Structure 1
Amino acid sequence: MTKFAPFDPAKYLDSEEAIAAYLEAAAEGGDAKHFASALGDVARARNMTELARKSNMTRAGLYRAFSEDGNPSLNNTMSVLSALGLEFTVKPVKPAKHAARKRAATRA
């Protein structure tokens, strides 16, 4: 039987373009936990110690906050994005997407 290693997206986040595309795709779903986990993947792809220093967090705090089960504050999220040289932007949702998200939210 063939054994496969777990997929680690951090291994493929090797350029600013790849990181931006990855985070943009993660944000499109509207799931905060998924976005936080994706940001954790990006943090692991970068120098975690340096990123912790630049974002005024500990390494352990970064791992914990941006893990699959983490729940980082908006302040921590913004600090990490800034430390990565990224910015948080907001744009209007297209009407069809907005309606789909609204329907999904009412079902939950």
Structure 2
Amino acid sequence: MDDDPQVFLVALGYLAKKQGMTKVDKKAGLNRESLYKALAGGGNPRFSTVNKVIKALGGLMAVA
């Protein structure tokens, strides 16, 4: 397990690209440029942005 949040963001970006960034940005209510910046290595997105992307990908964020 990697505790680096950047690894999570890069993985989330990979999933968004696989599903199609245009599709994800519309579902998340974000513009495409903001989405790329948020999910790029070194990005520092807000929690709300990450949550919107997860929901747009059909996921659910949970704390266990």
Aligned partners of 1:33 and 1:69 also within 8 Å:
yes
Q: Does 1:49 align with 2:22?
A: yes
TM-score for both structures, normalised by structure 2:
0.90
Max Rg structure: 1
Q: How many Å apart are 1:81 and its aligned residue?
A: 0.4
- CA RMSD of superposed structures (Å): 1.0
- What pairs up with 1:27-66 in 2 under 5 angstroms? 28-66=1-39
TM-score for both structures, normalised by structure 1:
0.56
- The separation in 1 between residues aligned to 2:20 and 2:11, in whole angstroms, is 16
Unaligned segments of structure 2, at least 5 residues:
none
Q: Which amino acid aligns with 1:68?
A: G
Identical aligned residues as a percent: 33
Q: How many Å apart are 1:73 and its aligned residue?
A: 0.8
Q: How many Å apart are 1:64 and its aligned residue?
A: 0.7
- The separation in 2 between residues aligned to 1:61 and 1:74, in whole angstroms, is 14
What secondary structure sits across from 1:71 in the alignment?
A: coil
- The separation in 1 between residues aligned to 2:44 and 2:9, in whole angstroms, is 7
- The separation in 2 between residues aligned to 1:89 and 1:79, in whole angstroms, is 13
Higher relative contact order (CA 8 A, sep 6+): 2
